[in-house]
């Protein structure tokens, strides 16, 4: 098969390809030319995706420990929803609703995470409220529902609660030295958002 350089990235591609398999840029061709179907190299695409994920995780270290902890907790917090789908209480047909519930419940944490990525101190003080809220909430839930929930779900809650407690310590250390009024305002706003999103979550679950 004859090869030629891509006009965009200069890597070698087939002369019959309609797009570059490396940079995905379209390659102009003469109209009416017979061009066979271009197969996707799924192994290459998977390696590229895994490399991008690895590089993104390594880049998180540049933003500080609180950002790292908050990211991993956002990932872990979806596991109870996934557990509900796998174990049966949540049907696959309700997957869209499950994702919506997760986004509502995780909205304050997602907002704090985005602010941390933009290096806004307000996000750090908000993350402190998010960590503390979930540490207290999950500690209470585990104490109340430990006889009624499965051991797998309780284990997930314990991991997330422990991570939230650790995140609160890390965020408190990072936030030390900031303006008191800004710290208090961000804490109150994000803690209030957590209370509001949990209330909306419970209303939707019971409707």
Please, which residues bridge with residue 26 across strands? 19
> From CA 170, how far away is CA 158, in angstroms rounded?
18
Q: Please tell me the predicted confidence (pLDDT) of residue 190.
A: 93
Q: Taking a C-beta distance cutoff of 8 angstroms, is the pair 75, 110 a contact?
A: no
Q: Please tell me the predicted confidence (pLDDT) of residue 42.
A: 72
> From CA 195, how far away is CA 37, in angstroms rounded?
53
Please, which residues bridge with residue 198 across strands? none
> From CA 85, how far away is CA 62, in angstroms rounded?
35
Report pTM.
0.65
Q: Please tell me the predicted confidence (pLDDT) of residue 140.
A: 85
Cβ atoms within 10 Å, residue 11: 12
Report helix, strand or coil for 195.
helix
Q: Please tell me the predicted confidence (pLDDT) of residue 39.
A: 63
> From CA 174, how far away is CA 128, in angstroms rounded?
10
Task: Please count the residues of the chain.
Answer: 207
Please, which residues bridge with residue 4 across strands? 13
What secondary structure does DSSP assign to 138-189, as a single string?
A: HHHHHHHHTTTS-HHHHHHHHHHHHHHHHHHHHHHHHHTTS-HHHHHHHHHH
What's the Cα-to-Cα distance from 33 to each of 15, 17, 21, 36, rounded to whole Å?
12, 11, 20, 10
> What does DSSP say about strands 12-14 and 3-5: parallel, antiparallel, or unpaired?
antiparallel
Tokens at residue 108, please? 């304050």
Q: Please tell me the predicted confidence (pLDDT) of residue 14.
A: 79
> From CA 171, how far away is CA 96, in angstroms rounded?
32
Tens-level pLDDT at each residue, the chain (207 residues): 577 888 788 788 877 777 788 887 787 766 555 445 556 667 777 788 778 777 777 777 778 888 888 888 888 887 776 666 556 555 545 667 777 878 888 899 999 988 888 888 888 889 999 999 999 988 887 777 767 767 777 888 888 889 899 999 988 888 777 677 888 898 999 999 999 998 988 887 776
Burial call 79-111: b when 16+ CB within 10 Å, e when fewer = bebebbeeeeebeeeeeeebeebbeebbebbeb
């Amino acid at each position: 098969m004859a090869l030629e350089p891509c006009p965009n990235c200069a890597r070698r591609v087939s002369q019959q390809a309609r797009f570059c398999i490396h940079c995905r840029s379209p390659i102009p061709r003469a109209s009416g030319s017979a061009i066979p179907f271009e197969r996707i190299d799924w192994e290459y695409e998977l390696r590229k995706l895994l490399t991008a994920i690895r590089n993104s995780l390594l880049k998180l270290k540049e933003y500080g420990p609180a950002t790292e902890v908050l990211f991993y907790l956002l990932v872990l917090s979806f596991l109870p929803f996934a557990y509900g789908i796998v174990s049966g209480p949540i049907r696959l047909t309700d997957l869209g609703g499950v994702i919506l519930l997760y986004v509502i419940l995780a909205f304050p944490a997602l907002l704090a995470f985005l602010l941390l990525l933009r290096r806004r101190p307000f996000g750090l003080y908000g993350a402190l409220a998010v960590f503390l809220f979930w540490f207290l909430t999950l500690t209470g839930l585990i104490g109340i529902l430990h006889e009624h929930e499965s051991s797998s779900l309780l284990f997930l809650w314990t991991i997330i609660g422990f991570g939230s407690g650790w995140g609160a310590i890390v965020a408190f250390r990072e936030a030390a030295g900031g303006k008191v009024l800004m710290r208090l305002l961000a804490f109150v706003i994000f803690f209030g958002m957590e209370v509001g999103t949990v209330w909306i979550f419970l209303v939707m679950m019971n409707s």
